[in-house]
Amino acid sequence: MDLKIVLSNIAARWNYKLDELSPGVFRMDVALKMKDGSFRYQFVYIWIIPGRYMGKDVVYMNSRCGEFSPNLNLYKLLKESGCGTYCSITVTTDKRADGSPCETVIAQAVQPIQYTNEEILNEVIYDVAYNADIVEEVYFGGDNN
């Protein structure tokens, strides 16, 4: 799979903005249509991780929801974030804009390349963006990422 070609096709199909941040690391700005007809946008970061799935390569995707805090209602967050079809909500080591370390709540998906194609990847990317946006709105005050 040529990830750049596949992502370029998906971006062109939906008129998403796609940037290659470094060789092989992409950021897609996914448009999410709201009930009132307006759009919100969510960045999804996408790259290949060799050997991650039982020694096989995967397409890894994630989208930031917000910075983890002990004040988050984790029970409620976990209970409500179970609606992802392809993605899950987790916490990862990250950095703030100033470079200082932090922990960030993200939506993530790991798609084994051998079991995917462009159509599936399109659905997974949207699922990551959609679920990250919901968690971001409910728990972190709005569209920040």
Predicted confidence (pLDDT) per residue in 5-56, tens digit: 999 999 999 999 999 999 999 999 999 988 888 889 999 999 999 999 899 9
Q: How is the chain split into domains, by residue range?
A: 3-140
- Give the Cα separation of 134 and 1 in Å (integer): 30
- Nearest by Cα to 131 from 27, 11, 32: 32
The pTM assigned to this predicted structure is: 0.92
Write the class of the CATH domain 3-140: alpha beta
Does the pLDDT at position 145 exceed 70?
Answer: no
